[in-house]
Amino acid sequence: MKLIKVKGIVIREVAYKDNDKIITILTDTLGKVSAIAKGAKKTNSQFLASSQYLVYSEFVLYQNTGYFYLNSASVINTFYNLRVDLDKLQVVFDMTKIINSVTDENQDCDKILQLFLNTIYVLDKYDKDKKMITNVFKIKLFAILGFAPGQDKCSICQKKLLDEQNKLIYYDFVSNVFICADCKKDVDERRLVKLSFPTYSAILYIIRSQIKKIFSFELKKYTELEIFGQVFTDSIMSGL
The residues binding Zn ion (CB under 5 A) are 154, 156-157, 159, 180, 183
Please tell me the distance from the alpha carbon of residue 52 to that of residue 178, in angstroms, as a whole number: 42
| Sequence-distant (≥ 6) Cβ neighbours of residue 123 within 8 angstroms | 82, 88, 91, 92, 130, 133
Judge contact between 73 and 94, C-beta under 8 A.
no
Helix pair angle (197-208, 130-144), 10° resolution:
50
The H or E element spanning position 5 is: strand 4-16
* In the complex, minimum distance from the CB of residue 84 to Zn ion, in angstroms, rounded to a whole number: 50
Nearest CB to Zn ion, comparing residues 63 and 151: 151
* Residue whose CB is less far from Zn ion, 156 or 219: 156
In residues, how long is the chain? 240
From the list 124, 122, 153, the residue with the least C-alpha distance to 140 is 122
Q: How far is the CB of 188 from Zn ion (least distance, A)?
A: 15
Cα 156 to Cα 184: distance, rounded to the nearest angstrom: 9
Least distance between Zn ion and beta carbon 155 (Å)? 8
> Quick one: 166 or 238, whose CB is closer to Zn ion?
166
Closest separation in Å from C-beta 187 to Zn ion: 10
For the bound state, the minimum distance from the C-beta of residue 156 to Zn ion, rounded and expressed in Å, comes to 5
The smaller minimum CB distance to Zn ion, of residues 95 and 169, is found at 169
Which CB, 15 or 157, lies closer to Zn ion? 157
